[in-house]
Amino acid sequence: MDLKQLEYFVRVAELGSFTRAAHTLNIAQPALSRQVRLLEVELRQNLLLRNGRGATPTEAGLLLLDHARGILHQVERAREDLGRVRGALAGHVAIGLPPTLARVLAVPLTRAFRLELPEARLSIREGLSTSMQEGLIQGRLDLALLYDAAPLPELDILPLFEEELLLVQARPAGLLEDPPPPPIPLRELAELPLVIPSRPNAIRMHVERELAGLGLRPTITLEIDGVPAILDLVAEGMGYALLPRNAVSNTIRPSAYQMRAISDPPLRPRVALACSAQRPATLTQQAAARLLRELCARVLGQPAQLPEPPEQAAEREKGGRRGGQ
């Protein structure tokens, strides 16, 4: 067997599909199927049950999956150790960022990564929190910042900070920037025409959940995905948006918008740093996670870590008890 065959098998087993694995690995599906089959022939074991719904590991496949993950991790660690001989950590790190955070973190993250990890490769991908969770589980991402991340056994989630959402509207002509407008109660928000992303965008889900707690629903005039497009529509007077301050302050013309705080209660989705609980983080990935936490504290002015939510702490404690049994 060779390392490529092990990597291919792990991807198919984790994704449950040859089609999805071929797309993730960027190879043709027949070539992927042939390599996995050669691995099965060499080991004289059926590793995957193939059916119309996909592929699932057999008992032998589950055993190999555990070993293969460890082997691939050790290979990555070996590359890192060899990189340290040259005086630097090496390897590849794929980081996922929500669009609102990517606008302010992508450039300083790239700059810091190149400075501190010059021998490593970085890829940054924008996406919704739900799709990035899937990317972490399937191995397409190593780290991701997620909004309101639900606890999952496949992920390690570290709460970082709460990001306040503001009501964004076009600044009336001739209106000075000071004094800032008074906060608007959340209840009144339900009556305003909103330009908002479609489901399952995490900010959209947070707004709907908080309004539902008051027995209300948002008035949505336009659904559009993409922060720049939302801000362009708001600037044209098409409606109001709910965005973090940094999403507005990093536009070309922040003075075109007026921002109002929301009260009773404020809208504060929680941002967390997540990674896979199935694959141990390499030293390069650990260094990248530290950089990301430090950037959140420095660039966004946010604490490096929040107290763990009670339900997540309980789940972690339960997992610890299971591990000790």
% of the chain beyond a pLDDT of 90: 43
Write the single-letter amino acid at 249. Answer: S
Neighbour tally for 233: CB within 10 Å: 18
Angle, alpha carbons 118-123-127 (nearest 5°): 150
pLDDT in tens, 93-121: 889 999 889 888 999 999 999 998 888 88
pLDDT in tens, 40-63: 999 999 999 988 778 989 999 999
Residue-level pLDDT at 256:
86
Is 304's pLDDT higher than 70? no
The token pair at 232 is 């362009």
CATH fold of 165-263 reads D-Maltodextrin-Binding Protein; domain 2 (3.40.190)
The segment(s) of the chain belonging to CATH 3.40.190.10 are 88-162+271-324, 165-263
Neighbour tally for 52: CB within 10 Å: 4
pLDDT category of residue 178 using cuts at 50, 70 and 90:
low
pLDDT category of residue 85 using cuts at 50, 70 and 90:
low
- CATH architecture assigned to 88-162+271-324: 3-Layer(aba) Sandwich (3.40)
Is 300's pLDDT higher than 90? no
CA–CA distance, 120 with 128 (Å, rounded to integer): 26
Is 319's pLDDT higher than 80? no
Is 234's pLDDT higher than 90? yes
Going from the C-alpha of 191 to that of each of 111, 171, 194, 220, the distances in angstroms are: 43, 19, 9, 9
The token pair at 61 is 């496949």
CA–CA distance, 157 with 270 (Å, rounded to integer): 11
The segment(s) of the chain belonging to CATH 1.10.10.10 are 3-74
CATH fold of 3-74 reads Arc Repressor Mutant, subunit A (1.10.10)
The token pair at 279 is 């694959």
Which position has the higher pLDDT, 37 or 302? 37
Handedness of CA 287, 289, 290, 294 (dihedral sign): positive
% of the chain beyond a pLDDT of 70: 88
